[in-house]
């Protein structure tokens, strides 16, 4: 949800505090639009991130509730290269999106981010994301690292305009973080002014768009 974090996938680079430098996409252009969304389902933390340590964030669309997210308008080739980098593969091959567009779900492999979901449609375009092939109840949840939570917190503030207290309450209640992080500790990650680190300039059409768009229904 944090634009400068996502830009590391597009243009290459290493997010602050991360252990990996991303090569970037073949097409390094910034997204044409950035739209805050509410998706049906739930965020949870499980396994261990090789980039941040601690639990990774996953999306279960069949869990009750809503998950704040952010949609970026990118090309199919850029989406393919983002998935490759999340799977620790070099970018360069276009994905066949036929099945996920038709069925709402496509498993490309057993990896933690190799299951494609069509969460809905927005202005006639598919809202695509990637997550694990398993359900939340099948996963062993894990405590996320501070740097990882800080990126999510910045994204919620930047994309949704949430205040620090609401961000902290939300993240502290997610499975994996619940019982392992107190809201006050997460709020502390954002610093005394609730901002964390200064945001980079967000120019032109990639600026957040409000009101938040709600994606109805359930992913198959």
Q: Does pLDDT of 210 surpass 50?
A: no
SS (H, E, C) 58-91: EEECCCCCEEEEEEECCCHHHHHHHHHHHCCCCC
- Domain membership of residue 89 (yes or no) is yes
Global pTM value: 0.87
- Domain membership of residue 164 (yes or no) is yes
For residue 20, what are its two tokens?
């990996």
Q: How far apart, in whole angstroms, are the C-alpha atoms of residue 62 and residue 42?
A: 8
- Domain membership of residue 15 (yes or no) is no
> What is the reported pLDDT for 208?
36
- What's the number of domains the chain is made of? 1
pLDDT tens for 101-124 read 999 999 999 999 999 999 999 999
Domain that holds residue 173: 25-214
State the average pLDDT for the chain: 89
pLDDT tens for 119-156 read 999 999 999 999 999 999 999 999 999 999 999 999 99
Tokens 């066949």 correspond to 96
Can you give the CATH number for the domain in which 108 is found? 3.10.490
- Domain membership of residue 76 (yes or no) is yes
């Amino acid at each position: 949800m944090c634009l400068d974090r996502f830009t590391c996938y597009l243009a290459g680079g290493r997010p602050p505090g991360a252990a990996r430098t991303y090569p970037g996409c073949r097409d390094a252009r910034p997204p044409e639009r950035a739209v805050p969304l509410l998706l049906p389902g739930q965020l949870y933390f499980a396994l261990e991130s090789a980039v941040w340590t601690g639990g990774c964030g996953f999306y279960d669309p069949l869990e009750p509730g809503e998950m704040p997210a952010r949609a970026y308008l990118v090309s199919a080739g850029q989406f393919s290269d983002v998935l490759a980098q999340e799977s620790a593969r070099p970018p360069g091959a276009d994905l066949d999106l036929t099945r996920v567009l038709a069925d709402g779900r496509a498993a490309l492999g057993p990896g933690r981010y190799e299951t494609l979901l069509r969460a809905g449609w927005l202005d006639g375009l598919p809202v695509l994301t990637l997550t694990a092939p398993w359900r939340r109840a099948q996963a062993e949840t894990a405590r996320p690292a501070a740097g990882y939570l800080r990126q999510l917190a910045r994204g919620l503030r930047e994309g949704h305009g949430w205040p620090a207290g609401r961000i902290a309450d939300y993240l502290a209640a997610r499975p994996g973080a619940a019982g392992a992080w107190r809201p006050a500790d997460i709020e502390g990650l954002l610093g005394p002014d609730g901002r964390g680190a200064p945001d980079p300039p967000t120019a032109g059409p990639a600026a957040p768009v409000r009101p938040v768009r709600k994606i109805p229904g359930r992913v198959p």
